[in-house]
Amino acid sequence: MSRRRHVLPGFGLTMGYTWIYLGVLVLLPLAGLALKTGTMGWGSFWAAISSPQVVASYKVSFGISFLAALTNGVLGLIAAWVLARYEFPGRRVLDALTDLPFAMPTAVAGIALTSLYGPHEWIGGLLAPWGIKVSYTLVGVYVALTFIGLPFVVRTLQPVIADLSAETEEAAATLGAGRWRTFWRVIFPSLLPALLTGVTLAYGRAVGEFGSVIFIAGNRPFHTEITPLLIVSKLESYDYNGAAALGFVMLAASFLIVLVSNGLQGWGARRRVA
């Protein structure tokens, strides 16, 4: 492993700095969390992560995130298609706005959505006569999680749609396939890996989301309380073990989601080469 293998200088310096920074800031503290959980003993760990209130919060965090990610899958696919393929007035503005949930602070998104969807407000007021309550219900959690997941599907799909080869579509058209059939049989399968990757990323982001949700959710235990909020309330009552155990579960879930999305990305890359 000598210098001779590299034309450019700086390998040792930048690599060393990268690992030290990563180690001190991220890896060691995360190891501390794992270690803390390890010292708890299985019995108290299991008790902490399986109490009824906690299980109810999993249903909100993991379940509503799933619905939000699915919504982003459908609408994000349409949005990516429209932004990549069509030319219309305002396209550039919509394209630039796609990243708004990424740049807007979650607390600001939280109070903005809560105000919009309150029973007497702009959108909430329109829905109220139909008996649909959004703010302080699970629907509100769903709205917030859809908002923050929106960029992921669009941004993962856009470059793939731009790279689609026109020839396969032309071939399908020449062979007499209608546009609808071409889409489902030719285009959709080649978009599928990227679509699933985007949905997984949106899901991963939604599962851990905190700021935007706590304003709109109402945070009623057993109903609209999310798991990250439970971690915070355990910390506030100095239950470090309980907080660490829940943190460990969330961390494991994040690792799993990243693993799945990496696998999906690999699948997409292989398909594109093939």
Q: Which of residues 171-190 bind another protein (CB under 8 A)?
A: 172-174, 179, 182
Per CB under 8 A, the list member of 46, 53, 55, 108 interacting with another protein is 108
Identity of the residue, 138 or 209, whose beta carbon is nearer to another protein in the bound complex: 209
Per CB under 8 A, the list member of 38, 170, 181, 271 interacting with another protein is 170
Stretch that binds another protein, among 44-52, 127-135, 202-210, 216-224 (CB under 8 A): 202-210
Residue 145 tokens, joined:
């999680």
48, 52, 26: which is closest to 39 by C-alpha?
48
Q: Could you say whether residue 73 binds another protein (CB under 8 A)? A: no
Identity of the residue, 17 or 222, whose beta carbon is nearer to another protein in the bound complex: 17
For residue 215, give every residue at least 6 positions away whose Cβ sits within 8 Å of its Cβ, in sequence order, or none.
107, 110, 111, 113, 114, 144
Q: Could you say whether residue 113 binds another protein (CB under 8 A)? A: yes
Q: Could you say whether residue 8 binds another protein (CB under 8 A)? A: yes
Identity of the residue, 209 or 225, whose beta carbon is nearer to another protein in the bound complex: 209
Number of residues that bind another protein (CB under 8 A): 94
Q: Residue 270 Cβ, how far from another protein at the closest point, in Å?
A: 14
Handedness of CA 225, 234, 214, 129 (dihedral sign): positive
192, 201, 189: which is closest to 69 by C-alpha?
201
Stretch that binds another protein, among 44-52, 73-81, 127-135, 189-197 (CB under 8 A): 73-81
Chain residues 131-160 in contact with another protein, contact rule CB under 8 A: 143, 146-147, 150
Stretch that binds another protein, among 47-55, 130-138, 188-196, 226-234 (CB under 8 A): 226-234
Q: Residue 86 Cβ, how far from another protein at the closest point, in Å?
A: 6
Q: Residue 47 Cβ, how far from another protein at the closest point, in Å?
A: 19
H-only helix segments in the chain: 11-22, 28-38, 42-49, 52-58, 65-85, 91-97, 100-103, 106-117, 122-127, 138-163, 166-174, 179-182, 188-208, 211-217, 227-236, 240-273
For residue 101, give every residue at least 6 positions away whose Cβ sits within 8 Å of its Cβ, in sequence order, or none.
109, 147, 148, 149, 150, 151
Rounded Cα distance, 82 and 49, in Å = 43
